[in-house]
């Protein structure tokens, strides 16, 4: 029998480009703390997940819980808007047509993610959305267990080294996409199983395998 594949998606930089409002909101936090704001290139060089590590480095001694309301207010009022990444919907549609189970594992705030999922009509593609996750490397074990996902049938797709490290923690396959926050040089440093420019390229890679008539028997 053909086994179904499970896909876990990171959100920011993998399905949705939220970089412009995230930079805006991060700069609001820095300004709030009397620190200089970051240009896009500086942000991309400095940013890392989990969030706590990034803020500890940039704003040592600040309490994360006190910064979060500043970030969220600035994110909501930013004139920069998140956009759906090209090929994201095609990839999700294909998953749905194949009967693959899809999940989201994201550090993004649940309210922001839910608003974007509604705006881009993405909700129906996912069995479950795990948002606002502080440390994905810890949470992936819970996600796999809770949804009874077999690691060998599961792939995590993300745009940051933390995503690839998370896949390794969970014992699942890892795919790095170059549509987000980190470039090929940085991502290749953590040895993803596969690295692609975008989800269209990934679909081309996996489609022949999945639709292989031998595997389908």
Cα–Cα–Cα angle for 124, 206, 86, nearest 5°?
50
Q: Which stretch binds Mg ion (CB under 5 A): 9-17, 55-63, 75-83, 164-172?
A: 9-17
The residues that bridge with 129 in the sheet, in sequence order, are 104
In the bound state, the residue with its beta carbon closest to Mg ion is 13
Q: Is 18 in the site for Mg ion (CB under 5 A)?
A: no
Coil, strand, or helix at residue 192?
Answer: coil
Q: Is 154 in the site for Mg ion (CB under 5 A)?
A: no
Q: Which stretch binds Mg ion (CB under 5 A): 159-167, 171-179, 187-195, 203-211?
A: 159-167
Q: Which stretch binds Mg ion (CB under 5 A): 64-72, 73-81, 174-182, 190-198?
A: 174-182
Report the interhelical angle of 110-119 vs 64-77 (nearest 10°).
20
Residue 180 CB, shortest distance to Mg ion, in Å, is 5
Q: Is 10 in the site for Mg ion (CB under 5 A)?
A: yes
Q: What is the DSSP string of 100-138?
A: -EEEEE--S-HHHHHHHHHHTT-GGG-SEEE-S-S-HHH
| Cβ atoms of 89 and 119 closer than 8 Å | no
Nearest of 201, 147, 202 to residue 174 by alpha carbon: 202
Residue 150 CB, shortest distance to Mg ion, in Å, is 24
Residue 65 CB, shortest distance to Mg ion, in Å, is 22
194 Cβ contact list (under 8 Å, min separation 6): 173, 174, 175, 176, 202, 205
Residue 160 CB, shortest distance to Mg ion, in Å, is 5
Out of 5, 6, 9, 13, point to the residue binding Mg ion (CB under 5 A).
13
Q: Which is nearer to Mg ion, 32 or 89 (CB)?
A: 89
Residues at the interface with Mg ion (CB under 5 A)? 10, 12-13, 159, 180
């Amino acid at each position: 029998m053909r086994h179904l594949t499970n896909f876990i998606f990171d959100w920011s930089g993998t399905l949705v480009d939220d970089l412009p409002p995230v930079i805006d909101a991060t700069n609001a936090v820095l300004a709030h703390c009397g620190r200089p704001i970051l240009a896009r290139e500086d942000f991309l060089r400095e940013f890392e997940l989990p969030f706590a590590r990034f803020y500890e480095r940039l704003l040592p001694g600040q309490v994360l819980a006190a910064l979060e309301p500043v970030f969220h207010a600035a994110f909501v009022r930013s004139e920069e808007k998140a956009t759906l990444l090209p090929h994201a919907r095609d990839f999700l549609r294909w998953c749905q047509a194949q009967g693959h189970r899809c999940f989201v594992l994201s550090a993004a705030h649940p309210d922001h993610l839910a608003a974007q999922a509604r705006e881009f009509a993405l909700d129906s593609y996912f069995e479950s959305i795990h948002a606002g996750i502080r440390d994905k490397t810890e949470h992936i074990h819970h996600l796999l267990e809770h949804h009874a996902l077999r690691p060998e049938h599961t792939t995590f797709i993300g745009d940051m080294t933390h995503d690839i490290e998370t896949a390794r923690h969970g014992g699942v396959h890892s795919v790095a996409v170059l549509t987000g926050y980190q470039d090929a040089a940085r991502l290749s440093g953590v040895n993803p199983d596969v690295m692609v420019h975008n989800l269209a390229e990934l679909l081309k890679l996996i489609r022949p395998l999945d639709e292989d008539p031998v595997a389908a028997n």
